[in-house]
Amino acid sequence: MDRDLVELARRGDQAAFMALVRPRSDRLFAIAQRILRDVDRAEDALQDALVIAWRDLRGLRDPDRFEAWLRRLLVNVCIRHAARERRRAVRLRVLPVDGPAAPDQLLTVADRDQLERGFRRLPPEQRAVLVMHHFLGYSPAEIAETLAIPPGTARSRLHNAHRAIRAALDADARVTAVGGRSA
């Protein structure tokens, strides 16, 4: 069914394209929001990615790969948005307390705070691989294929991202211990 919709959309059928992306939009938005850590920016990134997908859909040779192709477009758009955000040092909107789902109470408020600040210090490419690995459950090989990077690069990005966020958390813990910062 999706394959038919992709073929129609490739021939310029806008309704078919919207029928393809609507059921996927929540998941795509969730990915963008986790990379960018901001709802407004995630909405912008999703919009851009979907319009690019429409524009470039005729370049998709295998309609069965639509989903993977779309995710890759979105992740790369998010990386660029995140890079701009870092360059401009924009203050990001803090997530409202009652907004996101909180399926597990094992994380403390302090954990979340540390993760948030550690994550935002990471380069956009490292943010993206963390989200792909921990949120989407991708292996390094799947990350490599999705981002069209060598598998070794995907592994090293993931390793460096883990190392960087661990360092950020450890540094935070030291500050907390010395300065008694409240969470």
Partner 1 sequence: MNTDRNLNRMLDLWFAEGFDEVNDHVLDAVEGRVRRQRQRPGWLLVWRDTPMNGYLKLAIGVAAVLVVAVGAWQLLPGRDGNGGLGTPVPTASPPASSPSPPEFTLTYDPELPYLLHLTTPAGWFRDDSEYVLKKATAGSELAIATWVVENVYRDGCRWADSIFDPPVGSSIDDLATAFASLEDREVTTPVERSLDGFDARDLTMTIPTTFDAEFSACDEGGIGTMFRYWTAPGGGVRYSQGPGERQRLLLIDVDGTRVLVLGRTDATNSAAEVDEVNSILDAMQVESLAAPSASP
148 near partner 1, judged by CB under 8 A: yes
The phi and psi torsions of 90 (rounded to 5 degrees) equal -75, 140
Q: Total binding residues for partner 1 by CB under 8 A? A: 73
13 near partner 1, judged by CB under 8 A: no
Token pair for 135: 């949120």
Cα separation, 46 vs 31, whole angstroms:
9
Residue 165 half-sphere exposure, CB side, CA atoms within 13 Å? Answer: 23
2 near partner 1, judged by CB under 8 A: no
Q: Give the residue, chosen from 104, 179, 180, 182, that forms a contact with partner 1 under the rule CB under 8 A.
A: 104
Token pair for 13: 């059928």
Judge whether 31 and 67 are in contact, CB under 8 Å. Answer: no
Minimum distance of partner 1 from residue 129's CB (angstroms): 11
Judge whether 70 and 49 are in contact, CB under 8 Å. Answer: yes
135 near partner 1, judged by CB under 8 A: yes
Return the residues of window 37-66 that contact partner 1 according to CB under 8 A: 39, 42-43, 46-52, 54-62, 65
157 CB neighbour count, 10 Å cutoff: 24
Minimum distance of partner 1 from residue 1's CB (angstroms): 19
94 near partner 1, judged by CB under 8 A: no
50 CB neighbour count, 10 Å cutoff: 21
8 near partner 1, judged by CB under 8 A: no
Judge whether 144 and 153 are in contact, CB under 8 Å. Answer: yes
180 near partner 1, judged by CB under 8 A: no
Minimum distance of partner 1 from residue 91's CB (angstroms): 19
Q: Give the residue, chosen from 3, 7, 25, 175, that forms a contact with partner 1 under the rule CB under 8 A.
A: 25
92 near partner 1, judged by CB under 8 A: no
